[in-house]
A and B are shown apart, each in its own frame.
Chain A
Amino acid sequence: MTHATVVCRDGLIVAVLPGEAGPDGAVGTEDDVAGRTPLGPRVVHAKDLHVYAAFIDPYVEIDVPAPAADTNGRHWNAGVTPQRTAMDGGGIDEATAAGLRKLGFAAACITPKGGVFRGQSALVSLAKPSDDKSAARPAVYRTRVYQTVSFETGGGYPSSQMGAIALVRQCLSDAEWQWGERVAGRRTGGADAIDSLIAVSAPGKPRADGPGRVGTPGDGEGDIPARAGPIVFDCRDELTELRGIRVAKEFGRSFVLLGSGVEYQRLEGLAKEEHLSILLPLNFPKAPDVGTVAKQEATELAELMAWEQAPTNPSRVKAAGIDFAFTTARLRERDEFRGNVRMAIQGGLSEADALAALTTKPAGLLAMAERMGTVEVGKVANLLVTDGPVFDKKSKYRSVFVDGVEHVLFAPPAEAEGEWTVALPGGAEGKRRLEITKENGVTVYKDARNVKGEKVSLDNGVLSFTFDHEGLDETKGIYAMSAALVTDHNGNAMRLIGQGVRPDGTRFDWSAVREPGGSLTSMTGVWDYRLVGAEAGTNPRPGTIEVLKEENEKGERMLVRTLGDDQKVTTIGAKNVKGEADVLTYEVAGGAGEPVATVRMVVDRNAKPASLKGEVRTGDAVVAVEGVKRRGEHSSPLGKWRVTEADGVIRAMDRVDGLDIEVKAKAVILTFRKPDQGLGDAAAEPLVINGDKVEIEKSVLTFEHPLELLGGEGVSKDRAVVEGDLLVGISTLPDGSTHVYKAVRLPEPKEDETTDEAWRFVGIPEALPLPFGPYGLRSGVHTAAPAYTLIENATIWTGNETIEKGTLLAHRGKIIFVGTGATPMYDDDTMKIDAAGKFLTAGIIDAHSHTGISGGVNEGGQAVTAEVRIADVTNPDTVDWYRQLASGVTSMLALHGSANAIGGQSQTCKMRWGVIDPDAMHFEGAIPGIKFALGENPTGKNGSGDNGGQYPISRMGVEMLIRDRFTAAKEYAARIATDSAHARRDLELEPLAEILAGTRLIHCHAYRQDEIVMLCHVAKDFGFKIGTFQHILEGYKVADYVRDYSGGGSGFADWWAFKLEVQDAIPAGLPIMHEAGAVVSFNSDSGELARRLNVEAAKGVKYGGLSTLDAWRFVTLNPAKQLRIDRAVGTLEKGKDADLALWSGDPLSTFSKCEATWVDGRQLFSLEQDAEHRAWITAERQRLIQKLLVGSEKKKEGEKGEEAGDTPAEGASPPGPPGERRRRRPSPERESDAAWALRRHMLAKAVGLGSHKPGECGCEELSEDQLMDMAERAMEGSR
């Protein structure tokens, strides 16, 4: 709607009217001037301004006090505070609100900061609170909008993402259970924190207050507080988003994600979720610094790619069909928001979608669509007023109306230019006229006389000047004058109100009103005009006039003279020139026998450029005239133009915007499509007209062009004048008729575009690799999986025997033939490999790994963390998977660390590089496991000495802790068996009960023989069999125990002496256990060592005297047996999975290289594929580095040429004093996986841990703080 009017009352929109409210040029009412609205409405004149529904930020974190320690019903975990609400403290602070208003927001959903269950959010007004303490506070539109949940860690339990997920799971489970108990009347105590988590949709819900309404205590439903609305999961990366979705769905909760900004990296996975909504941040990474060789060396490809792709995230999310609203959350500085919205639009998002994401979408997601998000009657009067399209860089946000109250964001500097009529009290001194020029020159007129003002200043809306009155009458001396400017919305001064001091010291009040039409000044200048629809030969002809002011002793007079094409004066033929109130009149004498023409034109000085409209009367004939004013400078016509308005011949084409004009130094090219050619029809070749006789004289372009293609005859003579980015052309046809057209300048080609970041968007790859980053599978490159894989002429180590010149055929992931002789059946869709001279084996299985675990390998926050699950945090994207595939490893056991005696649940994985769904890494049907740990680690012996005050600190305590928990688990199992309907589900005891039931295996980190024997006793007493002993360095001392009480031992081939409890480790240890009949395997416990497990196996031959076959089974069949996956993997047999490794020679030789690896029959690594990856990586790195280097130059130029930029408005937070910069240690869980990994990597580099060593990696993982301290020490030390 244009020229519309919005009427607000009491904070609501009461009317939205089309058309203009007042007369043209009217600026406000009397009430407006006084700034009061005692009676009628206050009119805000927004001519030339744009009005939008103000924005809504759906996620703004604020500090809210934690529940006091002695509060009843407080949850045992300090991070679980769902009962908190965002309004518990002071609500949103004015500085934050002001910062948001500046960006166009009028409402924000505020939510408590910190913790796992953070509390209930509230949608609040961002109005500035009145200074009047008795006035109403800004509105709270809705409370308890959603419950914010994050997988945040730090300060005890949870200390890992998997721990946080486990805590969330237990709490949601407790909420369901507790609600059931309350409904059944078995639980009658006062409300506690968990009650705040009862789902709105909980069964038995007795009250339907609607979402987020507080139930009244004592209303018969018990003192149960409000039931929770949806959950908003704060997700730091795309994998965490999938985790949040999974947990929410597990409990049937409605949810929204606070997005990460990296959704694009796994969009296919997210898009699988129907009706997904994301609060989308615009946290685009800074451009990586690649300015030096060293910086380039230190920059990861993924970092470069993320920088380039991030701004496409919103458009990609949109294209994936995911609902989203923008939030300012996660920005480094909130002020980056506007620029980043613009960047998202450059990245492919439509402006309409961007606007929706700021208005209707957040309104909808917050269930406030009926009250907010659009400019409609009945909605909250939250409006944003801008002076240009809302997403234009140059547009200024003028005001934001919050609940109908204007908050001025930017007031243009007052302009007083024009003519004024001064009223003096009493009329004693007669009327004066005042002219103020653009340069703030002041001239005071009385009658025909005038004097120049002196000491003129126009500051902060106050005009001051002096003038010598003597020039005006006989009074001698200097008058001093000052007045305040009362301005309209565009900064135009409408009224002057002030005081003066006469030479004799007497004071007087004066005021001045603007002459309605303005001044002579508005008319002076050069005008290009034309006659609308005039006949040929009309007088005057289209052309150029210059309006001048001539001053002499008598005052001044106006002159109008005609300029020729050469800009030289041709005539000064105008007579009776009058200029008043923006109306210019004059007469032009015709040639011989021609009548006098009277010209009357009205100047519109607010138009850009200033324009005039009027008529020429010649006798009775009236011809309309139009013209535009030239600016002082001459704009060049060179460049490309798009015609936006036209009449005459050109108008005949339905779509004039299809006409482009390219102006070169000696040529003009017109390109267009005929009306029957669709504009968007790129296939249709545009028609081209070449102009000739091209001449350019400053801002004037003349040329001729044939009319044939446009449907006319002959040649059109065109004359066009350029004013900045606007071109007005007059086309004179052979019949003498003239037609006018307007065109706007098209953006210069990208390479010259220096004022924005358009260069960033050139050549962005559409398709992304999966995983996002190096070695990811790229569409059509490495994703093909043939139906058959046939490997011939290989020396095959099946794991049972050696087959020379053997053949293996796999079909759809399974081995269907191993042997020699008969040719097996296969079809054309076959990958055929001649493996003459090569060795084919089953893929290696690593029974102890910590690869691909997000957000911490240890949940060390408690001594028992059986509830945490590695499966929750599988990260399929770490490049370590690929590197291990390159070493023939195809399956592994991902284990929790050994920080505590009863650790988390383990996950057996297959290395399916490039999966969309992280869970697809999980080995189907593998028996569940859990990590236990004995010895130095769970007793904290290598740390402070007291294990952080956590029991146990001795091997004696470890035993009792384990016995205690198994005792509890036994009782729990009994309880569940007898009363499964009402027993509270205990996620910690559940897996322990599974161990007792034999459905879950313990993988126990153990070193010394005493502790091994201890656990064997426990197993015997509780009647279960241990899965494996891990590390088991002294297992050879008690090999019979290992054999009898467990599924065997898995350990290092020869590692020892890195700590006291491994001083008796020997490389013959595991082979001795093998001799005693235990199932034994070698493992890595290290992403680096995992890369050479084949050679580790050879150490069994060297130190333990194993046969080649037995040694090879140490890294294939034996770990498969230990993990109970030997039915599918571990040997090459018909019916087993086609998990294969192809070696250049004897797999036990240090000189043999893995040349190819298959998982489920898919080749996921080969030397050839790897070479392709490397070539792509090199090319992509260079492309991006060059883009950054070239771009940073452009940016520099752009910044130079740019305007001073937005005026800082209210709420801009000043940078803190240097002393206040505090060391910030964000917990790793608040960063993205990638950022976290990068940081760890860099820290490790700084510390000098080039790579993790076995026994250090997961089992004794350094904390972030330890690493940081070490890094800083190392850096200090290195200097």
Chain B
Amino acid sequence: MKLALRALAAGTIFACIAPPALAQDLGIKAAPQTDAICLYNASIHPIIGDDIPNGFIVFADGKIVEMGTGDSSIPAVATADGFVAINCEGGHIYPGLIAPWTQLGLSEIQAVRQGNDTIELGGITPEVCPATAVNPDSTLLPITRSNGVLTAAVCAGGGTLPGQVSIIRLDGWTTDDLTINRSAGQVLRWPNMRTFNFPGMVTSEEDQRKETREAILAIGRTFDTVAAYRMARTTDPTSPIDLRWEAMAGVVPIGPAEGSDGVRGDAPGKSVFVQANDVEQINAAVTFGKERALRMVIVGGREADRCAVLLKAEDVPVIVMGTHNMPGRDDAPYDEPFTLPARLAAAGVRFTIANADDTAHERNLPYTVATAVKHGLDHERGLRSLTIDAATILGIDKAYGSLEVGKSATLIVTTGDPMEVRTMVTTAYVDGRLIDLSNKQTELARKYRERLKQIGQNPGR
């Protein structure tokens, strides 16, 4: 065993990721980390802390135990028994990238209804939890992680309170294996507050405003009901259980409306992820959340820079729904969606950028961020968006989002900046487990190159 490992250690990083014979959806999931692993001869980008130009990183039992600088030879620490030392040959090591808003595992092929589990019936279904329904053998998971996206928030979609946000790792045999945090918070879809008026509209603008008012009141009533329910359950544990309100316990504080210090007694542990784009939606949602002492995250935020003062004052972060969008109006600058993150950064608002594209294209997340960098966002902020800022907003920053001793060994080895398309992800570890980067697509390419070879056509590489 040891000999074999040593042989492996002597090999290069490319040798050790020779793909298995099968596409990943039929393939073998990664085994738990057994030996301590040392990756050396790499530029390490820990995100928290300075870059380590010629460094090594050691992890065991899925956790980072040591990082340091050295030369291109195996560091002393990794020569001990039980270590596998891997030469990264000048590659780059980053934390695994985090997709902050996806429906990975809940939807396989958009147009095929049978594979879609993103929405439950009813406008208020806070009890439903995506972690329950993520398909571990979805072909999308290996495709996504092959480009370095190793962790993702999976979100319920649908009505006003459609369900929860679950955080998963993109490799595992079962849903339990995949789940990092079953419930990171609740999704709240804020009502549209901008009236529409165009030929064919049935509902008058006045009626639309009325509907909006009623919808906002209904949200308030729901949160009040949850608070009352929790109070009732606290004072009288025999009062009947309601699964909907139980599911919201973590986001709604109870106790007197305001304590003596002006803050409610039990601050919520989980966030309400409020989908809001327009100025007035964001204003209303943040005000709503402040009144009820909620922990808020704005999701969407198309006009968030115009509410920056409020968002900064209330320390409400934003999950920007992508940059590869069209500007809101014809007269808007062509790069309006591209520059939004830079504008938020300049205003001091915390944010992370979601890919906000079809689920199948989540692997392009780093390029979505790169577009923001191209249009003015600080490169460092771009990397943080993909890692620690996403982790913080999703509440998994204690273990993920940066390379620090004690944190999860969820990391990627690349040939360069992950935001550049031509950069290859050569190796990836999730909690110290070596992940298979091959997938259905790499296998299909291999398969049909073989056909060309068989019929004597140019077989390519």
Contacts and interface: CB of A to CB of B under 8 A. Distances in A.
A270 B439 CA distance: 58
Contacts of A1253: 357-358
A302 B331 CA distance: 8
A1059 B212 contact: no
A1057 B109 contact: yes
Interface in B270-293: 278-280
B171 interface: no
A1275 B192 contact: yes
A394 B405 CA distance: 86
Contacts of B148: none
Interface string B433-448: 0000000011011001
Contacts of B360: 1055-1058
Nearest to A942: B111
A568 interface: no
A1071 to B, nearest CB: 8
Given A1057-B108, A1076-B457, A1251-B326, A1279 B200 contact: no
B137 to A, nearest CB: 14
Contacts of B303: 297
Nearest to A885: B334
B215 A773 contact: no
* Interface size grouping (class) on chain B: 35 or more
Interface stretch (A157-165, A653-661, A1096-1104, A1191-1199): A1096-1104
Contacts of B140: 1057
Residue in B326, B359, B419, B461 with the greatest tally of chain A CB atoms within 10 Å: B326
A1253 to B, nearest CB: 6
A1226 B459 contact: no
A876 interface: no
A1250 B329 CA distance: 11
Main secondary structure of the interface of B (DSSP, over half): loop
B373 interface: yes
Contacts of A289: 197
Contacts of A301: 329-331
A1034 B160 CA distance: 40
Contacts of B330: 300-302, 773-774, 879
B449 A293 contact: no
Interface in B410-461: 419-424, 441-442, 444-445, 448-449, 451-452, 455, 457-461
Given A294-B278, A298-B194, A1170-B333, A1039 B422 contact: no
B311 interface: no
B371 to A, nearest CB: 7
B196 A1275 contact: yes
Contacts of B15: none
A293 B329 contact: no
Interface string A269-296: 0000000000000000000010001100
Contacts of A1243: 198
Residue in B108, B193, B457 with the greatest tally of chain A CB atoms within 10 Å: B457
A1075 B364 contact: no
A1041 to B, nearest CB: 11
Contacts of B158: 1277
B457 A1040 contact: yes
Contact of A1054 (B123, B160, B193, B364): B364
Contacts of A1271: 196
B223 interface: no
A1235 B421 contact: no
B243 to A, nearest CB: 22
Interface stretch (A335-343, A817-825, A1143-1151): A1143-1151
A1242 B112 contact: no
A1239 B198 contact: yes
B183 to A, nearest CB: 23
B123 A1277 contact: yes
Given A293-B280, A1095-B421, A1253-B358, A1279 B215 contact: yes
A172 to B, nearest CB: 31
Contact of A1150 (B139, B159, B421, B441): B421
B189 interface: yes
B422 A1098 contact: yes
Interface stretch (A900-908, A944-952, A1060-1068): A1060-1068
B34 interface: no
A1246 B196 CA distance: 9
A955 interface: no
Nearest to A1069: B445
A1037 interface: yes
Contacts of B108: 1057
A1037 B451 contact: yes
Interface in A1236-1279: 1238-1239, 1242-1243, 1246, 1250-1251, 1253, 1268, 1271-1272, 1275, 1277-1279
Given A773-B331, A1036-B445, A1153-B374, A1102 B424 contact: yes
A1105 interface: yes
Nearest to A1235: B199
A1077 interface: yes
Given A774-B330, A1170-B333, A1279-B214, A1226 B109 contact: no
A213 B87 CA distance: 95
A1152 B421 CA distance: 12
A1062 to B, nearest CB: 8
Contact of A1072 (B195, B329, B423, B448): B448
B192 A1279 contact: yes
Residue in B192, B329, B330 with the greatest tally of chain A CB atoms within 10 Å: B330
Contacts of A1268: 200
A1232 to B, nearest CB: 11
A1088 B194 contact: no
Contacts of B421: 1095, 1098-1099, 1101-1102, 1148-1150
Contacts of B441: 1056, 1066-1068, 1103
A1076 B458 contact: yes
Nearest to A1223: B202
Contacts of B361: 1054-1055
B328 interface: yes
Nearest to B356: A1250
Nearest to B216: A1279
Contacts of B327: 883
B110 interface: yes
B191 interface: yes
Interface in B286-323: 303, 321-322
B324 interface: yes
B242 to A, nearest CB: 23
Contacts of B458: 1075-1077
B288 to A, nearest CB: 15
A207 interface: no
B252 interface: no
B192 A774 contact: no
Contact of B452 (A1063, A1072, A1272): A1072
Given A1075-B460, A1148-B422, A1223-B202, 14 more contacts: A293-B280, A294-B278, A298-B329, A879-B330, A1060-B109, A1063-B109, A1068-B442, A1068-B445, A1105-B461, A1150-B371, A1153-B374, A1250-B326, A1251-B324, A1272-B202
26 contacts: A294-B280, A299-B329, A300-B329, A879-B330, A1037-B451, A1039-B448, A1040-B452, A1054-B363, A1057-B358, A1075-B458, A1095-B367, A1101-B421, A1102-B422, A1102-B423, A1148-B422, A1150-B367, A1150-B374, A1152-B374, A1153-B375, A1170-B333, A1225-B200, A1239-B198, A1239-B199, A1243-B198, A1250-B326, A1275-B196
Which 3 A-B pairs give the minimum distances between C-beta atoms?
A1075-B460, A1057-B360, A774-B331
Interface of A: 289, 293-294, 297-302, 773-775, 879, 882-883, 886-887, 942, 1036-1037, 1039-1040, 1054-1060, 1063-1064, 1066-1069, 1071-1072, 1075-1077, 1087-1089, 1091-1092, 1095, 1098-1099, 1101-1103, 1105, 1148-1153, 1170, 1174, 1177, 1181, 1223-1226, 1231, 1235, 1238-1239, 1242-1243, 1246, 1250-1251, 1253, 1268, 1271-1272, 1275, 1277-1279
